[in-house]
Amino acid sequence: MRKVELRMNEQYKYKIIKKLVETNGNKKRAAIKLKRSVRQIDRMIAGYKEYGKEFFVHGNRGRKPLGAFTEEFKTEIELLYTNKYFDCTYTAFKEYLETRENIKISLDEVRVLLRDRYIFSPRTHKSTKRKFRKKLEADIIKATKKEKQELRNKLVLSEDAHPRQPRCQYFGEELQMDACIHLWFGKEKTALHAAIDDATGQVVGLYFDKEETLNGYYNITHQILSKYGIPYLIKTDKRTVFEYKKKASSKVEEDTFTQYSYACKQLGIHIETSSVPEFKPRVERLFQTLQQRLPQALRLAQITTIDEANQFLKNYIAQYNNKFALCINNNKSVFENQPSEEKINLTLAVLCKRVIDSGHSIKYNKQYYRLINKSGRPIYFNKGTKCIIIKALDGSLFATVDESIFALEEIEEIQARSIDFDELEEMKERKIYIPRMIHPWKGKSFEEFVKQQKHRIENVA
């Protein structure tokens, strides 16, 4: 039997599909992790059952591309859709092209071709329309007068309303998340981070911080994962932490949207953002209620610090849910099983890129660190070696170089003991906790994810 060598992304697909088949898992969650449709997941399952590991080797490996479509052909497809098949989905349009127009192109080619010209299917998601709207507005600025009018007509068509919505059917199907800066206690305003389930109105996470921060959202996500499990969808704010970036700053660790969305991707959580309050009405209404009740409760409990307030919230959540939320029907919960505490701690991490300096060390947050292996011994790499620093939720620091992971040890400016003047204890071999190397920490995987973030591309441009 021929040995099959898979690349890292192919191996990632293979492991997910293999686990999905063996455990009869959730296809939608696998679709989120692989950024594919459920239909494509079904295709992968069928291919895995028939060909095994060999199915995941890309069919175009080693082949030269056949070339791109001509502009005349693209215009022909656009006119066919806008004049004849304007109310069809991309899938139906692709089938009509094949059966009625004798044009054979794939569904992905149809989707890319039409979206590049700002033509959307009736089933296109709101988040996709918003993403393309930004690109469209940039194109309008560069276009001629005639082209501007045509683009503006498309812009009106791409706008979408936010009508009143019914509750979701299942617990964990949709969580709404936001933060509210208010005078909750004491004499200074603080930010209360909150998450609420749309189906039941259950508050699933509350956390205080000085400002609206990534740490605040990581902490309420930790509460959700450890108590309930992995939700299907999170809707949250677009205006502040999730798409905030400092002016002229290219540091990945400061890009909170990329950090949080990368953590969600590893857990299989779909995330949507919007600056419109009607997009997440349940959490907006929650803050109205909390502003009328929580400050009084904190004052009566004589809460004066953030640590005391966060401790108080643990009991307050249960009291609030008993009074205002619907009962949880466990039979209708779509939360995935809770991850281990170790996985939560390592997934809700801040990742950043660094380079080994001439002193075989790494500078992070104005401190120098050296790489340590499991035996507690330092490991040295050549100057210029690229690595990824991982700051876990509990503050632990690790670094990955290629396929290996190491702990980080701070290098002190002054040594603790003198070799010549202090009595030195006999050195014993230390055992350092280092988690196993996992796919999301692979430098190439993180760099590719960062490059896909549209707001970072625009910032560089």
Mean pLDDT per 10-residue section of the chain, whose length is 461 residues: 74 87 88 89 88 79 67 83 74 80 86 81 75 70 62 50 70 92 90 93 93 90 93 80 51 71 86 81 88 84 92 92 82 83 86 85 86 83 86 86 83 64 56 69 66 60 46
Q: Alpha-carbon distance 31 to 49, whole Å? A: 18
Residue listed under structure tokens 């004052």 = 299
Burial class of residue 373, CB neighbours in 10 A (0-12, 13-18, 19+): middle
pLDDT of res. 160: 46
Please give the distance of CA 141 from its chain centroid, rounded to a whole number.
31
User: Is the separation of the CB atoms in 117 and 103 below 8 Å?
Assistant: no
Our separate counts of H helices and E strands in the chain read 15, 12
Q: Alpha-carbon distance 238 to 273, whole Å? A: 5
pLDDT of res. 220: 94
User: Is the separation of the CB atoms in 292 and 174 below 8 Å?
Assistant: no
Residue listed under structure tokens 């939360």 = 335
Residues in the chain: 461
Q: Which two tokens stand for residue 44?
A: 């992968």
pLDDT of res. 367: 87
Closest CA to 351 of 208, 205, 213, 214: 214
Q: Residue 13: which residues within 8 A CB-CB, separation 6 or more?
A: 34, 44, 56
Which of helix, strand or coil describes residue 386?
strand
* Alpha-carbon distance values, 102 to 77, 95, 105, 299, 374 (Å): 12, 10, 10, 73, 63
Q: Which two tokens stand for residue 48?
A: 């895995």
Dihedral sign computed on CA atoms, order 322, 217, 396, 306: negative
Q: Alpha-carbon distance 113 to 86, whole Å? A: 14
Residue listed under structure tokens 């350092």 = 432
Residue-wise over 170-182: b if at least 16 C-beta within 10 A, else e?
Answer: bbbbbbbbbbbee
Closest CA to 58 of 17, 20, 22, 5: 5
Q: Give this prediction's pTM.
A: 0.58
Q: Alpha-carbon distance 229 to 173, whole Å? A: 12
Classify strands 270-274 and 175-182 as parallel, antiparallel or unpaired.
unpaired
